[in-house]
């Protein structure tokens, strides 16, 4: 097998046996990632039931309400992984413009509905009844796909300001601004970080990124301070006085303290009993720390670390630049959201609404993250699929797959 790392072309000999010359790390990474995700989903089912039983009984008169819904979402997630793992990931190269246009259109529609009064608060969800999803999740993956396409196509002049950097920044800021105006400042900030990291990996000039950051950080800070609730969160975070801590943070720290080294045991959390708001979602990590202790929390951290390493290995051995950037973007997105959720739960960052991937209650994030995992597996298996085919195509950077 010969791989031109400069051009991104992949030449595969037709007489190789399936699996010959495949990097061992790539093979192991794909399988290990599936195991890690399976464990995270199982943890999510158990912890969502434990942490949400009291809230479900109080609100829906059924302690198993969140359990059955999380089981359903998990089944859909697993099916999504299996389906997209079997597809050629280059399909997202071809439809990246459609995905991006659809996400920008839906984000704009949400703002219009908010202006005309259909939404009175945050406008983040679209759909009807149970068939609703959070548009920012679609936008996040649409941006990853289209950025991967543009960066791979523009590698020959990736350091050019007008032909490469400005178009990328305009697309990124359009998506980020629409999400921030929902308002969903935390998700908008994280998507901006993902975009800048992808441009850095792609080879964009660092001075362009630093100059843009120096301009955007003050603007973002002013925007954040315009909302009183965000100011209150910042004051609470930077205050060393327990009396000035927010109720959520205080209850979260109590829960983590209760867990000690080994935890109170499955279903024994005290904070879940209507003390800790969103214990089954944004603060689900607190319940993990309380019921399974420091060691249980450490296992979850280890699983996300392994996920990160597997994702980087898949990206490193991707057959072309598009696959490399897609794998990098998806891996960064999932791990970054996990890090922020855990940092908020442990009072390392100000309170913000970010779910813990594969574990927190909810269908939209779980399905989209499962889509991402399916694509990662597809990238890791691509060489093997090509070697097993009789007609061996050649994929070259800059050409449509």
User: pLDDT tens digits for the chain (401 residues)?
Assistant: 343 433 333 433 333 333 445 666 777 899 999 999 999 999 999 999 988 887 888 888 788 888 999 999 999 999 999 999 999 999 999 999 999 999 999 999 999 998 888 887 778 888 776 678 899 999 999 999 999 999 999 999 999 999 999 999 999 999 999 999 998 999 999 999 999 999 999 999 999 999 999 999 999 989 888 888 888 888 777 776 666 667 788 888 888 999 999 999 888 888 777 678 778 888 899 999 999 999 999 999 999 999 999 999 999 999 999 999 999 999 999 999 999 999 999 989 988 888 999 999 988 899 999 999 999 999 998 877 776 664 444 444 444 45
Pairing mode, strands 2-4 and 125-128: unpaired
**Exposure pattern of 51-65 as b/e (b: 16+ CB <10 Å)?**
bbbbbbeeeeeeeeb
Q: What is the pLDDT of residue 276?
A: 80
Q: Tokens for 183, please give them.
A: 């308002």
Cβ atoms within 10 Å, residue 148 = 26
**7: in domain:** no
The reply to whether 96 falls in a domain is yes
- Does a structural domain hold residue 135? yes
- Alpha-carbon distance values, 340 to 275, 285, 334, 344, 357 (Å): 22, 11, 10, 6, 11
Residue 269 has what pLDDT? 83
Query: Does residue 121 sit within a domain?
Result: yes
Q: Rg of the Cα trace of the chain?
A: 22
**What residues make up the domain containing 262?**
25-388
How far, in Å, CA of 63 to CA of 214, rounded?
Answer: 49
Q: Scan for tokens 């995905």, then name that residue.
A: 99
Cα–Cα distances in angstroms (integers) from residue 269 to residues 49, 245, 273, 351, in the given order: 12, 22, 8, 21
How confident is the model over 85-100, as pLDDT tens digits? 999 999 999 999 999 9
pLDDT in tens, 130-188: 678 899 999 999 999 999 999 999 999 999 999 999 999 999 999 999 999 998 999 99
Q: Given this model, what pLDDT does residue 400 score? A: 46
| Number of domains the chain contains | 1
Determine how β-strand 2-4 pairs with β-strand 9-11: antiparallel
Token pair for 46: 């158990």
Give dist(CA 41, CA 331) in Å, integer. 17
The answer to whether position 397 is within a domain reads no
In-domain check, residue 396 = no
Residue 355 domain flag? yes
How far are the Cα atoms of 147, 224, 239, 249 from residue 361, in angstroms, in the given order?
A: 29, 27, 30, 19
Give the pLDDT confidence score for residue 388 in this predicted structure: 64
pLDDT of residue 387: 62
The reply to whether 1 falls in a domain is no
| Whole-number pLDDT of residue 215 | 94
Name the DSSP letter for residue 10.
E
């Amino acid at each position: 097998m010969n791989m031109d790392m400069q051009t991104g072309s992949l030449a595969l000999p037709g007489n190789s046996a399936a699996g010959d010359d495949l990097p061992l790390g790539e093979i192991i990474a794909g399988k290990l990632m599936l195991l890690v995700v399976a464990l995270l989903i199982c943890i999510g089912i158990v912890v969502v039931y434990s942490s949400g039983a009291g809230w479900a009984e109080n609100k829906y008169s059924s302690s198993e309400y969140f359990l059955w819904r999380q089981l359903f979402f998990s089944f859909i997630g697993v099916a999504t992984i299996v389906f997209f793992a079997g597809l050629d990931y280059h399909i997202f190269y071809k439809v990246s413009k459609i995905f991006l246009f659809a996400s920008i259109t839906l984000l704009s529609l949400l703002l219009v509905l908010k202006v005309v009064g259909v939404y009175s608060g945050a406008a983040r969800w679209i759909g009807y009844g149970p068939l609703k999803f959070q548009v920012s999740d679609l936008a996040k993956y649409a941006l990853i796909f289209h950025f991967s396409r543009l960066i791979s196509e523009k590698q020959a002049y990736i350091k050019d300001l007008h032909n490469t950097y400005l178009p990328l920044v305009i697309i990124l800021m359009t998506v980020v601004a629409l999400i921030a105006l929902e308002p969903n400042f935390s998700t908008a900030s994280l998507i901006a970080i993902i975009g800048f990291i992808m441009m850095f990996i792609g080879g964009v000039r660092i001075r362009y990124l630093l100059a843009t950051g120096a301009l955007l950080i003050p603007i973002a800070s002013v925007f954040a301070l315009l909302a009183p609730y965000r100011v209150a969160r910042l004051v609470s975070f930077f205050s060393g006085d327990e009396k000035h801590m927010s109720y959520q943070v205080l209850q979260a720290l109590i829960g983590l303290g209760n867990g000690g080294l080994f935890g109170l045991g499955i279903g024994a959390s005290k904070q879940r009993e209507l003390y800790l708001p969103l214990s089954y979602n944004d603060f689900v990590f607190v319940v993990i720390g309380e019921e399974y202790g420091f060691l249980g929390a450490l296992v979850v951290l280890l699983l996300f670390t392994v996920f990160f390493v597997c994702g980087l290995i898949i990206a490193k051995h991707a057959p072309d630049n598009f696959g490399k950037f897609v794998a990098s973007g998806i891996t960064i997105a999932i791990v970054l959201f996990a890090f922020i959720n855990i940092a908020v739960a442990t009072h390392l960052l100000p309170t913000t609404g970010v779910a813990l991937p594969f574990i927190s209650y909810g269908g939209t994030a779980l399905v989209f993250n499962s889509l991402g995992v399916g694509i990662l597996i597809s990238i890791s298996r691509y060489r093997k699929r090509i070697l097993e085919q009789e007609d061996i195509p050649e994929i070259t950077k800059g050409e449509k797959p």
